[in-house]
Amino acid sequence: MDGVLVIDKPAGMTSHDVVDRIRKTFKTRKVGHAGTLDPDATGVLILGIGRATRFLAYSQTAPKRYEAVARFGITTSTQDASGEVISEAEATFTEDDLRDALDGFRGEIEQIPPMVSAVKVGGERLYKKARRGEEVERAARKVTISDLDLRAFVPGANPEATLDVTCSGGTYVRTLVHDLGDALGCGAHLVILRRTEAGGFTVEDAIPLDDVVPESLRPLADSVRQLQHRTPSAEDAEHIRHGRAVAPEDLDAEEGAFVAFVKDGDLLAVYRREGDRLRPDRVVSS
């Protein structure tokens, strides 16, 4: 059994909880997910079953889109509503001030991963250290915010803003909100997070977890939906099945780009451009 599930993850469950539920539904241990969502977050969670688990990395590193609600004037220990309040400050900025501040967070920026993240430091995940009350130094990481738009603004003692965020894989939206609060001089934390797009799928494609049935499984090729797809010639298809390099005459992928070879609806492999050839990155085992 190989394929992809696109789940609308409910609040109150970890991504691993969802994986466990699907393992029981499909009676298989070979289930993985492409990109963790925090327990309080909802939205698009892509799961792979069987051979699809080998191809989830392409969705995991691909850009994602979120709807995020930020509350200003309050900073928490986890950068979201689940943490303890550690500081409060008066939020006196205007909507125009907020729009100006957003300009500083578009494009390539640096983020320091939060302590409640799965990043490993010293061989241990940060959230395990955080549970023991430890705070360790973390190296900043470069991420890209390709779109950051203000959808709604509610003024008040603790103003709230609804943000539409499109960002590179590995971006922490809670940290984006936290840093935005710092830029405005009053602090902020994430109140609501919903992933609206990932891996070429939107929330309209997603199925509520309680509604998942075996017929919900999408084909293996959907595990690389966001990649460029090509239909190989019969000759190239034979080479691809054996993991040999190919050089299509109409090669139009950029250097280093991934290309999914699909024939008659079946995923054969994902290749990567190196010079004037495409070389195998992952081949579907027969």
Quick one: DSSP state of residue 223? G
Homologous superfamily (CATH) for 227-283? PUA domain (2.30.130.10)
What CATH number has the domain spanning 3-62+199-223? 3.30.2350.10
**Are the C-beta atoms of residues 205 and 8 closer than 8 Å to each other?**
no
Other CB atoms within 10 Å distance of the CB of residue 108: 10
Check 38, 179, 222, 236 and give the catalytic one.
Answer: 38
The residue type at 126: L
Do 3-62+199-223 and 227-283 agree at the fold level?
A: no
Whether 96 is a known active-site residue: answer: no
CATH of 64-198 among 3.30.2350.10, 1.10.3720.10, 3.90.550.40, 2.40.40.20: 3.30.2350.10
In this prediction, residue 16 carries a pLDDT of 94
In this prediction, residue 253 carries a pLDDT of 85
**Are the C-beta atoms of residues 8 and 208 closer than 8 Å to each other?**
yes
Where are the chain's structural domains? 3-62+199-223, 64-198, 227-283
In order along its 286 residues, the chain shows pLDDT tens digits of: 899 999 999 999 999 999 999 999 999 999 999 988 999 999 999 999 999 999 999 998 899 999 999 999 999 999 999 999 999 999 999 999 999 999 999 999 999 877 676 667 767 766 676 677 767 777 889 999 999 999 999 999 999 999 999 999 989 999 999 999 999 999 999 999 999 999 999 999 999 999 999 999 999 999 999 999 999 999 999 999 999 999 987 788 889 999 999 999 999 999 999 999 999 999 997 6
Beta strands in 23-84 (DSSP E): 31-33, 42-49, 64-72, 74-76
In this prediction, residue 129 carries a pLDDT of 64
pTM for the full model?
Answer: 0.92
